[in-house]
Amino acid sequence: MTKRIGVLTSGGDCPGLNAAIRALGKAGQDAFGMELTGFMNGFRGLALDESIDLESSRLSGILTYGGTILGTSRDKPHRMQIDGETRDMTEACIATAQRHRLDAVVCIGGGGTQKNALRLKQAGLNVITLPKTIDNDIAMTDTSFGFDTAVGTATEAVDRLHSTASSHDRVIVVEIMGHRAGWLALTAGTAGGADVILIPEIPYDLDIIADAIKERSRRGKSFSIVAVAEGAMSRSQAQSKAGMNEPKQLTGHVGHTIELTGEIEERTGLESRLTILGHVQRGGTPSAADRVLATWLGTHCAQIIADGKYGVLLAVRGNELELVPLEKVAGKTKLVPPEHHLVTSARMVGTCFGD
């Protein structure tokens, strides 16, 4: 019998989502004779049955598009705002899947999506997740699509900031996305030759940062680039935030790079300026690597659905794809180990991590 598949994109957008939708749809239709239904705006579309048929014509030409043709949101099935009220829409999601006679729902997203998909699995829905995030922080997978493109965007920004920093003999602080994990700031900072890299996993000391910048000045280096992840914290901030839940932590940490930039200027005596890259890191055409990865994941997802395997994350492990039970993924975050080889390499070329 023809298998019917639902697909949604959830959480923050990133390059490669459309490539994954296209790969899942084309492989499902052409190789396995499946029918694909797309749900709009993440889990909200599944709960409210807002859907479109993803026939071949809708999949044509979307490989290179950024964003997602299905739209996305951060809505949670068990806690969704409907008409001004917070409701548990889990059963509504199940009812929608039954109404469409779906054999499975493919949920493409990051850490939050893994938790939401697990809840639906526990409620009786066949689900499969594909890893996407610019933060590269999904547990149990080596990488996720969206990360490579974001690294390229952030690296290009760091490259451009070098010229203006050197022209004006300034310290340029560049804020890079990454609330909990520093993969993006670490990778882009290393690729762009940042002089200081600050990530959430390594709490920093302002005096150490200032000393490193002043030492560069003494050696004739008239400018410095400081790459900072959104979630980077000083040692005192990290101690005071210990034990706080994530929403409070993030709310209390907004604007910290503004304060950091001022502190650097005061302690070094060097003119310092802040650049916040923001959502530009999420946008644009996916890189070749992300298109290939999303295509690999999407087509393999169609294969495992044909094989009747559900309740898993399709994870990248080396040169293979592995099925990881959602129970092993949900609620976990892949952080940068302080002794990671990229950290070690950056230290060896003189990068300061503020510790």
Count of Cβ atoms closer than 10 Å to residue 56 Cβ: 11
- Between CA 63 and CA 107 the distance in angstroms is 18
At 223, the amino acid letter reads F
Count of Cβ atoms closer than 10 Å to residue 160 Cβ: 14
H helix or E strand, kind and range, residue 73: none
Among 13, 75, 103, 135, the active-site one is: 135
Count of Cβ atoms closer than 10 Å to residue 217 Cβ: 16
Active site residue 135: yes
Tell me 281's DSSP state.
Answer: G
DSSP 85-135: EEE--HHHHHHHHHHTT-SEEEEEESHHHHHHHHHHHHTT--EEEEEB-SS
DSSP 134-165: SS--BTT-S--BTHHHHHHHHHHHHHHHHHHH
* 3-class DSSP state of 54: coil
Q: What's the 3-state SS for 320-348?
A: EEEEEEHHHCCCCECCCCCCCHHHHHHHH
Task: Check: CB of residue 71 under 8 Å from CB of residue 40.
Answer: yes
Structure tokens at 156: 């290009």
Residue with tokens 């923050």: 12
State how beta strands 312-317 and 320-325 pair. antiparallel
**Dihedral sign for Cα atoms in the order 202, 207, 212, 216:** positive
Residue numbers annotated as active site: 135
